[in-house]
Amino acid sequence: MSKIRWSPIIEFFILFVTILFDGQFSNFIFTISKGKFYATSNIFLIFLIYVILKNSYLYNVVTSLILGFVYDSYFTGIIGIATLIYPLIALFIYHIRPIVHTNRLTRFFTLIIIITIFEVMKVVIIQITGLGDVQFLSFISKTLAPTLLLNIIIWVLLQIPLERIFIERKY
């Protein structure tokens, strides 16, 4: 059994803080790289993989919808991109949660898949709505690859603490 059982309100607050931290950390990385690449921190999605395990379908969708709205209003200024994508990712993870939480390797590949889905869906929505013109090869080399690398490093650092908090052990 897990050592800590947080209430959904505390989990929501933690997810809210991770979204705010993601934006600030991403801007910090962009500044350090002097604009050569843009690695987006997705600690929110890393935490979401674990939080979904403990909560209901409705909680996961509503939380992702609200926090997607916060992400859009705080970072993009265009309501609808993360507001649409976060609940879809939450539904995806919720439906595959028995598989996701079998071992670390499946969580690792789930992380890569959902970050790729999130980043690609953002670009597709931006292209479809005419909000910007993104060159696909440039997107892969200057955004997607650095984003995946950054989040893999973050996941490696956070996986053991998150496992101890969220995953029940059978002794």
As a three-state string, the secondary structure of the chain is CCCCCCCHHHHHHHHHHHHHHHHHHHHHHHHHCCCCCCCCCCHHHHHHHHHHHHCCHHHHHHHHHHHHHHHHHHHHCCCCHHHHHHHHHHHHHHHHHHHHCCCHHHHHHHHHHHHHHHHHHHHHHHHHHCCCCCCHHHHHHHHHHHHHHHHHHHHHHHHHHHHHHHCCCCC
Q: What confidence score (pLDDT) does residue 78 get?
A: 84
Query: For the whole model, what pTM was predicted?
Result: 0.90
pLDDT in tens, 69-97: 999 998 887 888 999 999 999 999 999 98
pLDDT at 84: 95
Q: What's the confidence (pLDDT) of residue 171?
A: 44
For the stretch 108-121, pLDDT in tens is 999 999 999 999 99
